[in-house]
Chain A
Amino acid sequence: MTHIFRNSTVELLFGNTGFTYSGYDEVTNANADADEYVWFYTVPMHANTRETAEEIASYIDRFKLVHSQVPATKPFYAFTLFNLFDFRTELIDFSVVHAINEFNSSLIQFAKEASNVKIIDFAAFCRLYPESELLDWKFYFISQTALNPKLALPFRKWFAAQKQATVKVAKKCLVLDLDNTLWGGILGEDGPEHLKIGGDYPGKAFLLFQRQILELQKNGIILAICSKNNEQDVLDFFETSRDQVLKKEHFAAWRINWLDKATNIRELAQELNIGLDSMVFLDDQPAERELVKNFIPEITVPEFPAAPYQLPVFLKTLRDEYFCVYQAREEDRGKTEQYKQNAQRHQLQQQFTDIDDFIKSLEIETTIRMNDEADFPRIAQMSQKTNQFNLTGKRYTDLEIKEIASRHGMIFSLSVKDKFGDSGLTGAAVITAIGNDAHIDNLFLSCRILGRKIEKTFMEQIICSLREENFENVTACFNKMPKNQSVAGFYGSVGFSKTSENETGKTYVYSLKKG
């Protein structure tokens, strides 16, 4: 059940089943049984702009009052304000615009501190329609609807997608062809000086395309190259070109050779240690796309635009569909760096014959924190993304984690750094308390830090903390998932005793009693 706080008739937009509604402008009597809440106020329709601005100015306090009445553990979706009908007589009268901006910034600021508040950018929906369609005065006068009820279906779809985006798992890696994809022309045939990048159209279009891709990279999307070219030619071009935006350092890995692209992409996935299903492949050649699609059904291969001037819209669609996240975390921003460091570690590993010597040489430092709320969003995000080292496959939102912690649960986070760099928060355990026993609801580690025996250290420290909390036993289970077969024996290897086993998984217990 969703409870909606509103100042206009919105029943036709959201529908009947599954929703309860506040009175217009009502700020008390929040439905305490609702699973989630929505704040959807629209700009009031006054003829006088000062009156409108003044009323809008009162909304943020109203919003805070409403928010204070609902449980902080339940999702609260807050719509930004958008002016559906511009009433001003003086062109330089920006009072309503300012009031709306003020409200929206306060709302965004508030959401940064209140983790259950998720912003829904209503303007993004409204921009899809002209003013004449956004508001239907007939229905406004008859029943006080603000947004035109005829837009109910697209609105419902859009809202569902926005909600999904607040928890959605985005793709991780963009694999790029080069010739006629990142620039116009063919490096090996036309020569580096004739490639179309920068300058006039079409070079201009490719330039913007590369800049947009660089923005994705800065927000945590890993870039890789898969191109039929001479590797040295490409690296030289990256080095010498004045116009090229994407350079060698922006790519985490590449396969620039004459082998087939399916084989190359499989290798890239292995080198980066990510699933093929988290990759998106861009290539202007239909034949290459077809081949990759056929041999790697898991990968996403969108059609590529025929004309370079279509690239900005293409990239926007790409971002919305595959790479849109509600909010990027600090760790995301340095992702390419981390994946590159991993490749260096991989090389170092090949010099050592003994794995323990290798681990020692890395100078690993681990930090383990318990019930630190600042870690919860990242832990939730990890639980959504981690597939290989994931013992039960349970996934959480940050609110669910908060909820578990509030019921005497223990949330452990693991941060790792070594001499090559800081991997940040890369592991977590979610533990619930059942009487005198602690139960590991899930334990997961990012695949970026596997192969360094860090998981053992993590488990030892968790056991140690649980003993200090005076628990008697630790119970745990392993659930079979499509990709977690490699950790089927994990609990056994760290001293747990198996209590049952069937085709879906195993259960374990570890006694904390001394002797």
Chain B
Amino acid sequence: MNRSQQLLQIFREVLETNDIDETVSQANCEAWDSIHHLNLILAIESGFNISLEPEEMERMQDFATALKIVEGK
């Protein structure tokens, strides 16, 4: 599984839906509220064994940005 697939898997588990793909963003996904945002960060941190900076967390408002941040680590 590549990083993109792994990340999508995390998004699906945390947001509890299979109905999302790489285009998902805070704007088009109702489930992605502030609490789920935190859960996403926790899951990404432990899933990729990385630590995200608060600025990165704030920027991470869609899948593409999230992937870019993860790949930059």
- Contact residue among A16, A138, A141, A150 (Cβ-Cβ distance under 8 Å from B35): A16
Beta-carbon contact of A142 and B42 below 8 Å: no
- The yes or no answer to A12 lying at the interface (CB within 8 A) is yes
How would you classify the secondary structure of chain A's contact residues: helix, strand, loop or mixed?
Answer: helix
Chain B positions within 8 Å of A142 at CB level: 38, 54, 57
- The yes or no answer to A11 lying at the interface (CB within 8 A) is yes
Cα distance A428–B34 when bound, in Å? 51
Chain A positions within 8 Å of B57 at CB level: 142
Cα distance A143–B34 when bound, in Å? 9
How would you classify the secondary structure of chain B's contact residues: helix, strand, loop or mixed?
Answer: helix
Chain B residue nearest in CB terms to A11: B35
- The yes or no answer to B4 lying at the interface (CB within 8 A) is no
Tell me the minimal C-beta distance from B16 to chain A in angstroms.
9
- The yes or no answer to B9 lying at the interface (CB within 8 A) is no
- The yes or no answer to B61 lying at the interface (CB within 8 A) is no
Tell me the minimal C-beta distance from B25 to chain A in angstroms.
19
Cα distance A143–B42 when bound, in Å? 13
Counting chain B residues whose Cβ lies within 8 A of the other chain, the interface size class is: under 10
Chain A positions within 8 Å of B34 at CB level: 143
- The yes or no answer to A139 lying at the interface (CB within 8 A) is yes
Tell me the minimal C-beta distance from A14 to chain B in angstroms.
11
Are A12 and B35 also in contact (CB < 8 A) when A149-B42, A150-B42 are?
yes
Cα distance A143–B46 when bound, in Å? 18
Beta-carbon contact of B54 and A143 below 8 Å: no
Within 8 A of A (CB), among B21-45: 34-35, 38-39, 42
- Contact residue among A11, A138, A145 (Cβ-Cβ distance under 8 Å from B54): A138
Chain B positions within 8 Å of A12 at CB level: 35, 38-39, 42
Tell me the minimal C-beta distance from A344 to chain B in angstroms.
62
- Contact residue among B38, B39, B46, B54 (Cβ-Cβ distance under 8 Å from A141): B54
Tell me the minimal C-beta distance from B33 to chain A in angstroms.
10
Chain B positions within 8 Å of A9 at CB level: 35, 38
Chain A positions within 8 Å of B38 at CB level: 9, 12, 139, 142-143, 145, 149
Interchain Cβ contacts under 8 Å between A and B, 22 examples: A9-B35, A9-B38, A11-B35, A12-B35, A12-B38, A12-B39, A12-B42, A16-B35, A138-B54, A139-B38, A141-B54, A142-B38, A142-B54, A142-B57, A143-B34, A143-B38, A145-B38, A149-B38, A149-B42, A150-B42, A150-B46, A152-B42
Closest 8 CB pairs of A and B: A11-B35, A142-B54, A143-B38, A12-B38, A149-B42, A138-B54, A12-B39, A142-B57
